Amino acid sequence: MPFCKNNLDRMSRRWRTWVVAFLLCLPGLCSPAWAGSIEATSARLTLNEEAYVLSAEFNVDLGPHLEEIVTRGVPLYFQLELEITRNRWFWPGEHIAGRTLTYRLAYVPLSRQYRLSSASGLSQDFAKLADALRVMGRTAALPVAERSALKPGEPYQAALRLSLDRQQLPKPLQLDAIANKDWTVDAKILRWQFVAGSAGDRENR
């Protein structure tokens, strides 16, 4: 009968809705969210004999959820990204140079320490997570562009960000990260202009 069929369809849709809501509210999926944040407080591009180098500082706050995740032994990966562009009337935002650096943050149960490593050769152990985050948030004299890539006296734009790379999480956690705001780390982009051949710096206050 049409009436019974319609009622069954409505009940079925309502049941599916409740099931989805229940799954989303399981512990760890619907807990009160306190997203972390990463924000650059200062950045400076300087020219040495061979290249332009970056020095920067970030405030890194993972939030309690991610702090617990890494302490339980799940490694977290972060991407430091810098892009230098130039605006022309025929080509706005032309890519000139850039640099990406990956950090790996993991807890080592055997030593009860946090290990921070990167492709640039960094590998340090810390007794406290806060100390590891502080070191990750400091970049000093990182080569980002060859000297010849930029023309002296011309204006350029720089964009800098340090962010959590969720693509490198274990697959089950990638799914959880999509639905769970506790995985969200607000990574703000710092943008500034500078003239090639002179110090290009920016403080974010």
Determine the Cα–Cα distance for residues 138 and 202; give it in Å rounded to an integer. 15
Query: Model confidence over 54-69: pLDDT tens digits?
Result: 999 999 999 988 899 8
Q: Are 176 and 24 in contact (CB under 8 A)?
A: no
Write the CB contacts of 137 (distance below 8 Å, at least 6 apart in sequence): 38, 57, 58, 59, 60, 162
Determine the Cα–Cα distance for residues 144 and 56; give it in Å rounded to an integer. 12
Domains in the chain: boundaries: 1-30, 34-203
The average pLDDT across 3-26 equals 40
Q: Which two tokens stand for residue 46?
A: 């300087």
The band of 14, judged by pLDDT with boundaries at 50, 70 and 90, is very low
pLDDT at 40 over 70: yes
Give me the pLDDT at residue 84, please. Answer: 96
Query: Model confidence over 66-103: pLDDT tens digits?
Result: 899 899 998 999 999 999 999 876 667 789 999 999 99
Q: Which two tokens stand for residue 67?
A: 């702090």
Strand partners, 46: 53
Question: Is the full-model pTM beyond 0.95?
Answer: no
The average pLDDT across 109-128 equals 91
Q: Which two tokens stand for residue 60?
A: 């890194």
Determine the Cα–Cα distance for residues 90 and 80; give it in Å rounded to an integer. 30
User: What DSSP element (H or E) covers 125?
Assistant: strand 123-126
Query: Model confidence over 163-195: pLDDT tens digits?
Result: 998 887 766 665 555 556 666 788 999 999 999
Q: Are 129 and 135 in contact (CB under 8 A)?
A: no
Specify the range with the lowest mean pLDDT, choosing from 22-26, 141-145, 156-160: 22-26
Give me the pLDDT at residue 28, please. Answer: 46
Determine the Cα–Cα distance for residues 68 and 189; give it in Å rounded to an integer. 26
> pLDDT > 70: what percent of the chain?
71
pLDDT at 24 over 50: no
